[in-house]
Amino acid sequence: MSKKIRVLVIVASVRPRRRADAVLAWWRAATGPCAEALGVDVEIADLREVHLPFDDEPEEPDTGRYIHEHTRRWSRTVAGADAFVVVTSEHNHSMPASLKNAFDHLAAEWAGKPIAWLSYGNTSAGTRALLSAKQVATTLGLSSVPGDISLHLADWTGDTPPADAARSRRAVRQLERLVAYAQALRPLRGPRIDVGGLAAGLVAHRAQTGDAAELLVLQRCCWVDEAIVNNTLAIAALHEDLDEVSSAIATRRVVVVRRGARLIASVQCWQDGADWRIGRLMVAPDERRRGLARVLLRYAQEQRPPGTRRITLATGAHSRANIALYESEGFEQVRAPADDVIELAKRSDLCNAS
Ligand SMILES: Cc1cc2nc3c(=O)[nH]c(=O)nc-3n(C[C@H](O)[C@H](O)[C@H](O)COP(=O)(O)O)c2cc1C
């Protein structure tokens, strides 16, 4: 499924009286119909409102450990975006410090996503700001799309950029490219995870909020099979909504596997009291019978914290293929089925034997 692309427009200037708002209004008017036709969600991140103090996190951003709520909020905003448009002025032949600070606050949240540039300024129309900003963006794993738009302040009448149909068309083309890049780059998103035994052509990464919609569709598709073999619709995985899947992504270790841009498999694991719990192991129907479920099951077992004594999971009482897989990996049924669900467990010290 191709989900809606979320474009985050970052307004760099935080000056009290700024031209940025007029530039943004021009861009929105020029690209609005195109964004609607492409089904793009456009959100604005005004750095004046995002309000990040300078370099105030004790840990380096690539640890992903943030202590301040403003950084966590910024992290969620950037992680949830598929692509960026930066609206920036030029300060002393470089980008404004507010923009550099917004980039520097995060790391992995930017990686593998495209970015489009819209600058404005005096002599160089802000293009020198872009030179420095692009260097930073490249370091963070962002990919600049071609076709920067740069506005000369000298051309303005008062506080408004002049009408220019050719420039408006360029803005539309830039947005179209941005969306195409966002779709093409999706397989590169998020830090890649090294999953032993993963077949060539498949890429695993930690699920991000932006994966929730695709994950939900795959989950429902996979659990329809479970509903059929168990002759019941009373299966939690079939009824979860987008918020619940997003919440699992935020609180559990959720791994997704993609073939190209398509999400084809996933597994989750988390601490459940004294046990390490594995759940929502799913592989798209046309990708089954190639050992991917076993690869993910083993990976999920390996993620248990040191000292874990037991790994648990559950499946439908009539899900014969699942039960066979789990038993072949050393899991044993721990009690009689209740509500048509079988609980299985494995002693952690047996994991390396599987
Ligand atoms: C600290 C500072 C440095 C500036 N340096 C440049 C510059 O190097 N090149 C340029 O074209 N304009 C420069 N300008 C002018 C800005 O491009 C202009 O003020 C623009 O409107 C700023 O964007 P804003 O109004 O949205 O904040 C500078 C402005 C400030 C405040």
Please name the residue whose Cα sits nearest to atom 18 of ligand 1: 121
Choosing from 46, 91, 123 the residue with most ligand 1 atoms within 8 A of its CB, the one to mutate for a pocket test is: 91
Closest CA to 116 of 95, 92, 147: 147
Rounded-to-integer distance, Cα 271 and Cα 325, Å: 22
Residue of 258, 270, 264, 283 lying closest to 311 (CA atoms): 270
CA of 91 to the centre of ligand 1 (A): 5
How remote is the CA of residue 11 from the centroid of ligand 1, in Å?
A: 14
Using a 6 Å cutoff on CB, does residue 154 contact ligand 1? no
The pLDDT of residue 340 = 86
Q: Which residue's CA lies nearest to atom 14 of ligand 1?
A: 91
What is the model's pLDDT at position 3?
62
Residues listed for the chain: 354
Of all protein residues, the one whose alpha carbon is nearest to atom 25 of ligand 1 is 18
| Residue 348 DSSP class | G
User: Residue 289 is which amino acid?
Assistant: R
Mutating to test ligand 1, I would choose from 24, 48, 90 the residue with most ligand atoms within 8 A of its C-beta, which is: 90
90: Cβ below 6 Å to ligand 1?
yes
Instruction: Give me the pLDDT at residue 190, please.
Output: 62
Separation CA 285–CA 283 (nearest Å): 6
Task: For residue 81, report the distance from its CA to the centre of ligand 1, in Å.
Answer: 28
Ligand 1 contacts CB of residue 159 (under 6 A) = no
What pLDDT does residue 1 have?
Answer: 40
**Closest ligand 1 atom, residue 21 Cα:** 26
The one-letter code for the residue type at 354 is S
Q: Give all domains of the chain, ordered by start, each with its CATH number.
A: 6-188 (3.40.50.360), 192-353 (3.40.630.30)
Inter-residue contact 84 to 10 (CB < 8 Å): yes
Give the distance (Å) from ligand 1 centre to CA of residue 100. 15
For the CA of 17, the nearest atom of ligand 1: 25
Rounded CA separation 272/302 (Å): 16
Closest CA to 56 of 36, 70, 43, 45: 70
Measuring from atom 27 of ligand 1, which residue has the nearest CA? 18
- Residue 129 CA, ligand 1 centroid: distance in Å: 10
Find the helix packing angle between 127-139 and 97-104, rounded to 10°: 10
Whole-number Å distance, alpha carbon 9 to ligand 1 midpoint, is 20
Q: Is the CB of 12 under 6 A from ligand 1?
A: no
CB 87 near ligand 1, within 6 Å: no
pLDDT mean values, one per 10 residues, the chain (354 residues):
80 96 96 94 97 92 83 88 96 97 92 95 96 97 97 90 93 97 80 84 83 94 94 92 92 90 93 96 96 97 94 95 96 85 91 60
- Strand ranges of the sheet holding 275-283, from the earlier edge strand across to the other edge: 192-193, 202-206, 253-259, 262-272, 275-283, 310-316, 341-347, 332-333
Q: pLDDT by residue (tens digit) across 288-301? A: 999 999 999 999 99
Q: In a 3-state reduction of DSSP, which class is residue 89?
A: coil
Among protein residues, the one with the nearest Cα to ligand 1's atom 23 is: 89
